[in-house]
Chain A
Amino acid sequence: MNEMETGTIQEPLLSPDFLEKLEHLRLVARKITLGTTKGERRSRRRGSSVEFADYRDYVRGDDLRFLDWNIYGRLDRLFIKLFHEEEDLHVYVLLDRSRSMDYGEPNKFLQARRFAAALAYIALMGMDRVGIGALSMGRFEWFRPTRGPGQIAKIIRFLEPMEAVGETHLEEGTLQFRVRQTRPGIILLVSDFFDPHGYEESLRILSQGKNEVFAVQILSPDEMDPDLMGALRLLDLETNEPVEISVSGELIRIYRNRLAAYEQQIGQFCARRGIHHLVIRSDADLAGVISASFRKLGLVK
């Protein structure tokens, strides 16, 4: 119940250890993964040309390849060439911040924020714009799309103190996001998808337009494989609604079937709309998951 105990303060979102892994990932990603993806994406988005868009001042850390050496020769000043398509690649991370996420060991919400931070890091390093939306019923926090490696600190400041509040209402959050979304891009919806109002509408809204949507379902180990005994009164974290169960092998078996069917249902729904569906255990090694899963999906290679 108390978010102060979820470890957001004590445990940094991106630990040095984790950052190291991400750095490695970034190096891998740097090997053109994003570029290729971008190219593919670009070809899809005919009309939005590869044209030169603008210059901007070089800041430390920018890719030296994009320095306009001609300008440097003429003006003795360092300018970075900005291309249209780079501006266009927006990566939106929609983070379900409902109370149901604040559950599990390791905590789903913590992992989800880490995931969001990691993706943001990768994307920022890849010169993409990263926008983050945190959604729960009646609440929407928006981190406006921003770019540049320097922004990661801001993003972490945005994510770190965030607490899980309210009920899940993906559709409402998605609509809020759509209002703010200016350009199409890659959208990662990170949630447990335990939405009593249904996740379908949300995904349908996201898949409209020219977005590339990833439905990232994060589940804790004890959600996937409940370790319960005896007569229990299950209390919903969001609604506090009780469900009385007496645990039996039969019930556990039925629950697993239900869960598998639920995942399958989401997977099927996503597949029909060109949405990538991905299930992440909260105890999984995030770097590994990002590298393996997203490589499989073609997000990174």
Chain B
Amino acid sequence: MSFLAPLALFFFISVPFVILLYLLKLRRIDKPISSTLLWRQSLEDLKANTPFQKLKTSLLLFLQLLVLILLSLAVARPVLNAVGFEKRSRIILTDVSASMSSTDVSPSRLDQAKTQIGGMIQNLGSGESIMLIAFSEAARVLCPFSDDRRVLLSTLESIQPTGEKTDLEEAFQMALTAAKSQPNPEITIFSDGGFSKLKLDRDPEMPIHFVACGLRGENVGIVSVGTRRNFDAEGQYQISVTIRNSSSESKKIFVDLLSLPDPQTGTAGNVIDAREVSIEAGKPATLVFDDPGYYLNALEVRLDVQDDLPVDNHACVVLPRKEATKVLIVTTGNYFVERALNADPRTRVSTVPPNAFISAEGYDVAVFDQFVPPRLGPGRYLFLGCTPPFPDCGLEGEVEYPAIVDWDRFHPLIRYLEMSDLVVRKAKQMRLPSWGKVLVESNETPLMVLLETENSVSVATGFDLYESDWPLRASFPIFFMNLVDWFLSTDPRGIRLYATGDVLRFPPSETELAATVQLPSGKTREIRLQPDNPTLFADTSETGLYRLVPQQGEAILYACNLISAEETDTTPRTQFTAGTAEIEGVRDIQAQNREIWWPLAFAALLVFLLEWQVYSRKARYEI
């Protein structure tokens, strides 16, 4: 047993005062008696036996003191079986991941956890401190060790659910680090799972409590969403959605495809398509919607279902740009390349001779045909028969008929392409920096390499197309199509689909530029776009559309969705493994800290009544 308000035990000093008052106030009734001789002797005997006889005889005083002691104890708020209520430095890790928004407990898992944490803060004993850490995809120290209840409570109040995934590892590491500097540390984790086994081992001395939030895993959610080109309809896309039913029974639900209200174009959100799908318990289902082709920037997929976790019932999709990819070919004339690039309806090809080339700025992709620009700005480049102007990079000597021995069969550029039958009559010996990646390798020299720098992606071939039969092969136009696709997908301007917690990469602007980011909730963040490098934006804990509005130019949409099978599976975890230790979860940390002031107060009342009874009886005798 311990006391939550041990200061109240100072009320005990009132006990001697009552005794003193009693001694002073004791009204003795005068009684004449023949002789006090024997009484005097008797008293001496009595005092020899019991030193506090005077007090012992007074049942009233005893009862009054009992009332006083009981009340003092009650005011001191004793708790029984106080798990973790010794004097400790508590580190409280709060899971704020998407699944904590589940409403299987009222009002939500996170709110319930906050209530419990609030109780822990209220019960904070003297000399104790609490550190608050919230974690989802990333961990944040909300409040360093503090014993100020008001600060802790207001910090606790500020904890909001995110739409992110769970990563306990970082938070746990943070907690372990913080624990090292504190006496008697203790870690309490409020979570519902959604994280994998921790590699970190716990200090066996340090108590770790795991409060398992949530009751059940009644949830259906979107675990994956993506766009791909519709090969049947030129310039259009398909949206694939994978839905997982993590509840215990099979579900039949409607999946709606909606257009989002777009303030830019003034279009209102409408249901474009709807499908009914039935999903067995614990199974996923994948649906493919066709792009309605209205040149809509963003679409939303919404599940028409009532479940515990609403946040994963919708996902937004930002379709790749509809406007053509601008390609610049710097060449003295290359029929095959121009032909291959023009075959792709998404591209708008410009050709410029090397002596007229000034800059590739403004183009999505630049192709240098046997021409090395003196300087390479940010961008996506293809070098044919030459290499980018990097140090340690160049072509020297000739190789005849190099035999292709290997190629990267998994790289998106040349995936599914048959390269072994390519015949190269003459190639140049290629010198590569150590960070260069070989895509096609011959027995004597790399034939195709990938060179990625911070702001540029270059693909280089070490041979002239006219010195090979590649343009005649089927793999040639596909390569160029892949090239444009892949370049666009690595272009920060191309990627618009993120998971919550991801870092958004805003494209570099021409000059430093102020911009506003509108979050899905309507909040705005001011940022500055940098000219050379992509601007990173990490405040992506909300699900939905993020709108980047630069001071000049068009707004760009980005979609962040909770794309996580772990979060969608809201079945609460009851234990977890840290290193070699199994940590069992408890449902309610407050339940183990029963305050017992009220029985004490009740007992005090009873004793008080008894005291009154004794007093009235005594008065009857004495008066």
Contact = CB atoms under 8 A, between A and B. Distances in A.
B34 A237 contact: yes
A286 B407 CA distance: 140
A258 B45 contact: yes
A103 B34 contact: yes
Given A230-B618, A230-B622, A235 B30 contact: yes
A250 B31 contact: no
A192 interface: yes
B64 to A, nearest CB: 15
B28 to A, nearest CB: 4
A234 B39 contact: yes
A233 B34 contact: no
Interface string B582-621: 0000000000000000000000000000000000001001
Contacts of A239: 36
Interface string A196-208: 1000000000000
Contact of A101 (B26, B34, B618): B34
Nearest to A241: B36
Interface in B34-59: 34-43, 45-46, 49-50, 53-54, 56-58
A251 interface: yes
A259 B37 CA distance: 10
B29 interface: yes
Which residue of B29, B33, B57 has the most chain A CB atoms within 10 A of its CB atom? B33
A171 B46 CA distance: 30
Interface residues of B, number: 30
Which residue of B40, B42, B621 has the most chain A CB atoms within 10 A of its CB atom? B42
B38 A235 contact: no
A271 interface: no
B32 interface: yes
Contacts of A232: 28-31
Contacts of B31: 228, 232-235
Chain A, interface residues (CB within 8 Å), range: 35 or more
Contacts of B58: 231, 246
B375 to A, nearest CB: 109
B493 to A, nearest CB: 97
B50 to A, nearest CB: 7
Contacts of A255: 38-39, 42
A100 B29 contact: no
Contacts of B523: none
A196 B34 contact: no
Interface of B: 26-43, 45-46, 49-50, 53-54, 56-58, 618, 621-622
Interface of A: 1, 100-101, 103-104, 108, 168, 192, 194, 196, 220, 223, 228-239, 241-248, 250-251, 254-255, 257-259, 262
27 contacts: A1-B32, A103-B34, A108-B34, A192-B34, A194-B35, A194-B38, A196-B35, A196-B37, A228-B31, A230-B618, A231-B27, A231-B28, A231-B57, A233-B29, A234-B32, A234-B33, A234-B36, A243-B36, A244-B28, A246-B57, A247-B57, A248-B53, A248-B57, A254-B45, A258-B38, A258-B45, A259-B38
Given A232-B29, A255-B38, 4 more contacts: A1-B32, A231-B29, A236-B32, A248-B56
